[in-house]
Amino acid sequence: MQRQRTIEIIGVPSDLGANIRGANMGPATLRIANLKTKIEQQGYSVVDLGDLHVPIRESLESKILEEKYLSPISELCRNLSAITEGILDRGHIPLIIGGDHSVAIGSISGILRYFHKQDAEVGLIWVDAHADVNTPATSPSGNIHGMPLATLLGRGHDILTAISTKKLRPENTALIGIRNIDDEEKRILRETGIKYYSMRDIDEKGMFTVMREAIAFASNGTSGIHVSFDIDGIDPRYAPGVSTPVSGGLTLREAHLCLEMLSETQKLVSLEFVEINPITDVGAQTAHVTVDLILSALGKSIV
């Protein structure tokens, strides 16, 4: 990614997609960890657009709770989609900070629409402990933060899949770091044709080889790459502040290498970092880790 460009930050303080509270405070904790200043120190101009409005759970009717907040999540994602598309229209780099991972339905829909207008395709690198390919028919919990990748591939709630008529191309999508997958998700993963790398694959091949392959898939015939990084992809020893921690995840160096290699492609056009939960964090450790990871994605090098 080239220096002297403008980053536009948009916060999405929502935990409506999850049954565990706290991810709605993720954007605030990243700002308190000096996100804007540290990006500026890397040579970028930074505009912080603030946070999207997200309704408080307690203000919503019980029927909305029963539908797992489908209506407010849909409205939120439509708004985010328009904002993300607009940032790209201005020639700037969107940095979306969440919030639970359901917000990716909105951010990536906007990115897909932007590239569709250019008659171009975009690749996706999705880092996560979970596959996020459940649908309303397969999800044990019904929580929408377990469905965004399936939704973007065209499976799931009609109200959410309709946000973007342009769908992800499975052949340009790579899922990295998975280690906690429902049985139905395993079937869906095989059906979709996306490239996925479990923690065992990373153990066997090494992160460098995995990323080299994943980047090749995401780059093949595309004009850019978006990275959607769920912080629970990292082992909770290093990033405890998440809503759904799963042991045996990426080390800090593996996570940084992933993002350093993406930066070196010069094809990274947009970024999102989600599922930071300060309620479960230890001394703001995860917030500072996340800021450091964002800097790696934006070109910070060791030497």
CA angle (129, 147, 161) in 5-degree steps: 145
* Two structure tokens written together for 300: 């910070």
- Give tens-digit pLDDT for 196-210: 999 999 999 999 999
Residue 301 has pLDDT above 90, yes or no: no
- Taking the domain 6-297, which CATH number applies? 3.40.800.10
Among residues 8, 85, 128, 185, the one annotated as catalytic is 128
Among residues 15, 121, 272, 275, the one annotated as catalytic is 275
Residue 101 has pLDDT above 60, yes or no: yes
- Give tens-digit pLDDT for 213-253: 999 999 999 999 999 999 999 999 999 999 999 999 999 99
Tell me if residue 100 is catalytic.
no
* pLDDT reported for residue 303: 74
Among residues 132, 254, 272, 281, the one annotated as catalytic is 132
- Give tens-digit pLDDT for 22-68: 999 999 999 999 999 999 999 999 999 999 999 999 999 999 989 99
Does the pTM exceed 0.75?
A: yes
* pLDDT reported for residue 1: 43
Residue spans of the domains in the chain: they are: 6-297
Tell me if residue 184 is catalytic.
no
Among residues 8, 100, 121, 232, the one annotated as catalytic is 232
Tell me if residue 101 is catalytic.
yes
Other Cβ atoms closer than 10 A to 247: 11
